[in-house]
Structure 1
């Protein structure tokens, strides 16, 4: 990778790919480019040089300093405030030194400071290593100009040296003292394209940090701010004793709050953790440093003096690839250390920091999702003497584990190797070596390690010979299990066979001889057809058969049978969730008299439960029936829960329960119930007797229902409950809080009401306001989070605190007087309400009348026709001639017959008797409504010419025009008392048939016309065409009209 031509310089540790600001676009892992080995090696081409830089030690650094590009004479450079540059330069120097050390090389070519325009190198330059940094020395005979501006470092671009690069330097300090002239000759070079990216990024961060140094806390939280050399950091106390630092935080501030026991640093711009950064946080017991994209270094001694910390997580920092020895100095009490999802590619890059010299009480080490690949024999030698018991190496891309590599962990009890692809023989050898060495391994997790077809015999024999009691083989593939698959395993207590794609479990696989001490069997996520005899081992205490019906797209019936558990007298835990069970009968759980810990039937598609189905489960303490959409015909009655006298937890969330009023004492058999989950149902009202039979109830979840307010004292729901009860009623339909509700809520320990659509209107809260005043109470008396009580409507109060509305509520407002005074209430109910309703109906009528005005005109036209035909309305006299018509004929046709109509218009209008036709393409007014134009044109035309073709009968508009023509025909025919003589013909319709017409498309009226009327038919023969035009002109020629009006009533 030639960096003098690169516009996208790829770094090893400061981001998998430093494109145009991966920090600004989010730095998502999927958007990053993982370098190949060749690419990583090629990055060693980055030149590093040394030169002299100067800064006044007494210069003040202002918080608002931004970054700029300046020119003075022939000297060009950039200035960046020292507090930001130090971390930038430090990270750049450190990352390349770590890369070189990791590769085992200390030689890096450098740029020659000559006038050459190419990328010349000087192999004679010497390199030296200081700690974990690589610093390059070079002769001092090349002058590099510098600028001094507002006490900030100036980073010069050399004159005529290498125009493609900018040279960046930093000045190190030691205990406040400036280092010697010789030690300050450190710096580096980067391409201009990369420099501008870094410069713009820093400027964005600087602008983001401007503003007040202190923010006021809300909701009893605390915000701590401080100005360090690295910039401003804001940390918020998100819960009692827990502080969180995020976003632009570059170092936690100092604090004197000794109540903080947990510190989180997440998604920050932190580049490195230095000695003293956490010195003020001496009361911490847990530290989380996660998702910090820029973090590349943690200095030894950073945690010095933090001897109370027992849990430390440094995870998901994808550019952290090295931990120096002594990094964890001071963590004398650390028990659990998480180093998940960093960028450690070898144990040598961090294992020295885990020495028992620094972590004497370390018991649990989690290294999941680091690309370690191999575990060699000496990789864990630094842990010799450690008390480490749990080692997690899940998803570490392990391909090889030296059998002797774990012998130094003499206290190892749990080994997790899941999601690695390891050779079976290698695993067997590892287990055998640990057994031979006397390592007290008890838990082995081989989750999804690529085992297929059948369980490997040599691996199981090695496990059988060891003292392993807990074995996980989940998510491997053993479709067919048969007797003899497992050797005799006398120590095995817990076996996990979930999601192994098994379709059977024959008898004899794990009988009392093979696994005599087995107490827990996890067999969920397979495809058993139901409860099979082979899996019902009498000595089992815990059995998981969940998710054996497949996914929701391909679910199969899971047969529970009747009396299948009669011999399972030792069973105390049973999980049947996510199966297609449908029905539970009285004999389903027969024999489970000792089932006491839990029975889970969550999302089991239960549609019917017989009464007394749980009557034998007298010792059961936990019952989960969540997410079974009970049909409406299932009535929850007390008989359903008979026998559950010791039940403490009942979960009925998401069951579609519309009401519990059919049996107010439905929970009466559950006298010892402590928690009841009724969330995500369809409950609207609650019976006052519902919770009375539950004196030990400590919590009830009624959230996400449709519960409405209750008004009266007789409707109180929590009147006879324990004072320790906690009630969760979020996201219901509570539009107000009545006095009866307040009395209920005062009797419980905690009430949650957020997410309810409170209507901040006098009509809903005036009685509450009056009652609170008389009782000398306030909503602050409720044991709830006041900030969660917010108005939902009207808009002017939306999202404002309900307490604020009640404080400002004026009971003397007009609307309040209407509501308070019964007479005013009657006026409001009997006068204003009908007027409003009438106005709404009138408005709707006007809108519909305007929208359908053309149809209304048509209906009026038909009504007039009918009234004239029956003599209810006098007919206007029609004058002789045809001066009262605008057109001789209206032509109705389909667009597919347009060519014929064009010819027809030309033949009838250009030759005697020079008729005037109405054609919609020519005569309809532009912008007018089509239906209105058709009505007007038909009314103004003496005759109607129908061009009947197959396209005509398929057109909806043509059919409507045909209906109009029929109506006009009936209108002109009149009744028996009136006749209109039109040259001996009374019919205004003229039919012209154009080609064949399919009978299936014709309406009955059109068929009638064609059978009872003489019509013209177009022919392609010229002689017949002349006859056609003559007959059509004669038919449409102006008539001599005589009117003989009939007698009128």
Structure 2
């Protein structure tokens, strides 16, 4: 196993020791994980990790063991090791000798959180490591150490003198962070104050004077009620995480973002506001964030967005609006998304959107989108006109909607050519010629990239009625790529029972051996669908048209319930060749019969029926 680089021996609470020579021969091992075992003697483990045994070891995680104490010489056998990351979180540590880590001269990252170590002990440890022995730590994890009210001042001052640039203070208890809570900490680039029960913080708590190089500030999971323009963050701040600060238990409470709140955040690139009850955003909400690239508003109960809400975000590349009730209360319009000409990723998952207006195409404002997520909405259809502006689209996620079979090309019409399309868990029953043309167009991508099209978990009807046209088109017009796509596909039949849960590809292979006599009888029934101002004559079987006519009859915009269906039966038809819908219609409706005689009387009756409708 000389080439092994990663090894984990973890979650064995009965494992209390390892034999001498356990790691012999692992000369390329870089990371060793020994988490949640029964080890109590860290000196014994260190003796197995000598640099002559593991010369490449750089990462060691022995968290969740029960060492209790670390003595002065416990790591002395590892002198000369290249170890740069040591994780000893949650090890019931109550004492660590100040000289414990002096043998680990290359140590950079120290995870020592969730132990019972006091401020004085930690200060002495850091002083001996850096000031006296030039061990230049860059990362220190002090999460869950039980610090209360304020970060220990003496410890913060000691850290400020070291080379530590990433400081984790998460899961302690600091209800209020005042302007003087932290000393000047010139080397700190990342400060993690997640889940510290903070109610508020001073306007100058994280200003440029105290944190001249602060780039990442994590404040999620606290009890902050919002942000106001009085906040003056470090001018170097790039990432601000304020997620999970909201109280969703009260309808009266909301997360307040005041006017001009972000005017001092000129360099901010990433802003997380997810899981806060923001509710409304206005044209002033994001003023000042001209350089922002990522904005996360996931689960923020946003039900109102004013026109021009995102206009200040001229360089935004990713906008996450998932799980907000935008479609239910607000009519999404293009003017809301003014200014997002650089946007590449738009996530509108589960926003209760039922349709997009072609006359006010909101995607027209975002022509550079490469990833569009519309998953878990209420979409029944989507048109080529809606997708027209998205000529750079690469990923389209339409899963978990109510989309049916489409009858006009979605992608071919305007040259929209995504390489990954998800339309699983919708209501697609079969493939029309235009769908097949779309699939063929997408597969013949000149860039030769692999194409992913997911149609799984739809309601495909595997009978001659639905799939015969697909079969014929594939035989006559299908390219090698299209036929290969269907042959290798995994989407399954939903009905009838005999084909349920079997691959559609298997049914298409079997079509040539089936007795599709329905097509011999096809000329015996004509369905007239009257939908003013045009009269459309459709030769069966046309399952979709009958469903459409039924929907027109039941859900007319003007509230009337006129019947748009006129049935004409020509000759005798065997019941086995009728769909369930046609059987029902022939039983429940008056239909006209054509027998080739009394033609004048037939046409007079038909004319009266159509004029009445």
1:538 to 1:423, Cα distance in 2 relative to 1, 3 A: closer
CA distance in 2, matches of 1:677, 1:630: 14
1:832 to 1:497, Cα distance in 2 relative to 1, 3 A: closer
CA distance in 1, matches of 2:59, 2:487: 38
Instruction: Report the equivalent of 2:53.
Output: 358
Q: Provide the secondary structure at the position in 1 that maps to 2:48.
A: helix
1:440 to 1:739, Cα distance in 2 relative to 1, 3 A: same
Residues 409 and 438 of structure 2 are in contact (CA less than 8 Å); yes or no, is this contact kept in structure 1?
no
Instruction: Report the equivalent of 2:546.
Output: none
CA distance in 1, matches of 2:35, 2:431: 49
Q: Provide the secondary structure at the position in 2 that maps to 1:461.
A: helix
Shift of the alpha carbon at 1:358? 2.4
CA distance in 2, matches of 1:316, 1:817: 68
CA distance in 2, matches of 1:533, 1:644: 24
- Please, what TM-score do these two structures have when normalized by structure 1? 0.48
1:497 to 1:831, Cα distance in 2 relative to 1, 3 A: closer
Q: Which runs of 5+ in 1 are unaligned?
A: 1-302, 839-1049
| Pair 1:789 & 2:483 matched | no
Instruction: Report the equivalent of 1:255.
Output: none
1:733 to 1:346, Cα distance in 2 relative to 1, 3 A: farther
| Pair 1:330 & 2:25 matched | yes
Shift of the alpha carbon at 1:727? 0.6
| Pair 1:609 & 2:305 matched | yes
Match of 1:400 among 76, 88, 95: 95
Q: Provide the secondary structure at the position in 2 that maps to 1:668.
A: helix
Match of 1:814 among 490, 496, 517: 517
After TM superposition, the structure 1 = structure 2 runs for residues 79-118 of structure 1, keeping only pairs within 5 Å, are none
Shift of the alpha carbon at 1:721? 4.3
CA distance in 2, matches of 1:408, 1:334: 20
Instruction: Report the equivalent of 2:178.
Output: 482
Match of 2:584 among 821, 828, 833: 833
Q: Provide the secondary structure at the position in 2 that maps to 1:632.
A: helix
After TM superposition, the structure 1 = structure 2 runs for residues 782-931 of structure 1, keeping only pairs within 5 Å, are 783=485, 786=488, 788-809=490-511, 810=513, 812-819=515-522, 822=525, 827=569, 828=578, 832-834=583-585, 836-837=587-588
Shift of the alpha carbon at 1:811? 5.8
| Pair 1:409 & 2:111 matched | no
Residues 267 and 291 of structure 2 are in contact (CA less than 8 Å); yes or no, is this contact kept in structure 1?
yes
Residues 766 and 811 of structure 1 are in contact (CA less than 8 Å); yes or no, is this contact kept in structure 2?
no
Q: Provide the secondary structure at the position in 1 that maps to 2:201.
A: coil
Match of 1:761 among 463, 472, 478: 463
| Pair 1:319 & 2:14 matched | yes
Instruction: Report the equivalent of 2:130.
Output: 435
Q: Provide the secondary structure at the position in 1 that maps to 2:365.
A: coil
Instruction: Report the equivalent of 1:697.
Output: 393
After TM superposition, the structure 1 = structure 2 runs for residues 766-777 of structure 1, keeping only pairs within 5 Å, are 766-777=468-479
1:821 to 1:450, Cα distance in 2 relative to 1, 3 A: farther
Shift of the alpha carbon at 1:779? 8.5
1:507 to 1:687, Cα distance in 2 relative to 1, 3 A: same
Residues 638 and 663 of structure 1 are in contact (CA less than 8 Å); yes or no, is this contact kept in structure 2?
no
Q: Provide the secondary structure at the position in 2 that maps to 1:623.
A: strand
1:783 to 1:772, Cα distance in 2 relative to 1, 3 A: closer
Match of 1:733 among 421, 424, 427: 427
Shift of the alpha carbon at 1:432? 1.6
Q: Provide the secondary structure at the position in 2 that maps to 1:521.
A: strand
After TM superposition, the structure 1 = structure 2 runs for residues 604-643 of structure 1, keeping only pairs within 5 Å, are 604-643=300-339
Instruction: Report the equivalent of 2:454.
Output: 752
CA distance in 1, matches of 2:524, 2:473: 16
Residues 614 and 641 of structure 1 are in contact (CA less than 8 Å); yes or no, is this contact kept in structure 2?
yes
CA distance in 2, matches of 1:550, 1:416: 31
Instruction: Report the equivalent of 2:362.
Output: 666
Shift of the alpha carbon at 1:340? 2.0
Q: Provide the secondary structure at the position in 1 that maps to 2:385.
A: coil
Q: Provide the secondary structure at the position in 1 that maps to 2:363.
A: coil
CA distance in 1, matches of 2:110, 2:524: 76
Q: Provide the secondary structure at the position in 2 that maps to 1:577.
A: coil
1:553 to 1:784, Cα distance in 2 relative to 1, 3 A: farther
1:721 to 1:391, Cα distance in 2 relative to 1, 3 A: farther
Instruction: Report the equivalent of 2:340.
Output: 644
Question: CA deviation digits over 1:95-149, x for unaligned, max 9?
Answer: xxxxxxxxxxxxxxxxxxxxxxxxxxxxxxxxxxxxxxxxxxxxxxxxxxxxxxx
* Residues paired across the two proteins, number: 530
Question: CA deviation digits over 1:786-818, x for unaligned, max 9?
Answer: 352111222221211111111112564334444
| Pair 1:547 & 2:244 matched | yes
Shift of the alpha carbon at 1:563? 1.7
Query: Highest Rg: 1 or 2?
Result: 1
| Pair 1:656 & 2:352 matched | yes
Match of 2:145 among 430, 444, 449: 449
Residues 424 and 457 of structure 2 are in contact (CA less than 8 Å); yes or no, is this contact kept in structure 1?
yes
1:523 to 1:484, Cα distance in 2 relative to 1, 3 A: same
Instruction: Report the equivalent of 1:892.
Output: none
Question: CA deviation digits over 1:481-532, x for unaligned, max 9?
Answer: 2232111211111111111111111223232222222222111111222113
CA distance in 2, matches of 1:689, 1:530: 40
Q: Provide the secondary structure at the position in 2 that maps to 1:792.
A: strand
- Please, what TM-score do these two structures have when normalized by structure 2? 0.81
1:441 to 1:771, Cα distance in 2 relative to 1, 3 A: same
CA distance in 2, matches of 1:567, 1:631: 32
Match of 2:161 among 441, 453, 465: 465
Question: CA deviation digits over 1:393-432, x for unaligned, max 9?
Answer: 2222222222211111111111112222222222222222
Shift of the alpha carbon at 1:706? 1.0
CA distance in 2, matches of 1:719, 1:520: 45
Shift of the alpha carbon at 1:784? 7.7
Shift of the alpha carbon at 1:562? 1.8
1:365 to 1:774, Cα distance in 2 relative to 1, 3 A: same
Shift of the alpha carbon at 1:456? 1.2
Q: Provide the secondary structure at the position in 2 that maps to 1:676.
A: strand
Instruction: Report the equivalent of 2:295.
Output: 599
1:370 to 1:609, Cα distance in 2 relative to 1, 3 A: same
Shift of the alpha carbon at 1:695? 2.0
Instruction: Report the equivalent of 1:1003.
Output: none
Question: CA deviation digits over 1:662-688, x for unaligned, max 9?
Answer: 546321222221111111111110111
Q: Which runs of 5+ in 2 are unaligned?
A: 443-450, 527-539, 542-567, 570-577, 590-613
CA RMSD of aligned residues (A): 2.5
Q: Provide the secondary structure at the position in 2 that maps to 1:477.
A: coil
Question: CA deviation digits over 1:303-323, x for unaligned, max 9?
Answer: 3xx32x322223223433322
CA distance in 2, matches of 1:694, 1:574: 26
CA distance in 2, matches of 1:523, 1:333: 39
Residues 448 and 473 of structure 1 are in contact (CA less than 8 Å); yes or no, is this contact kept in structure 2?
yes
Instruction: Report the equivalent of 1:575.
Output: 272
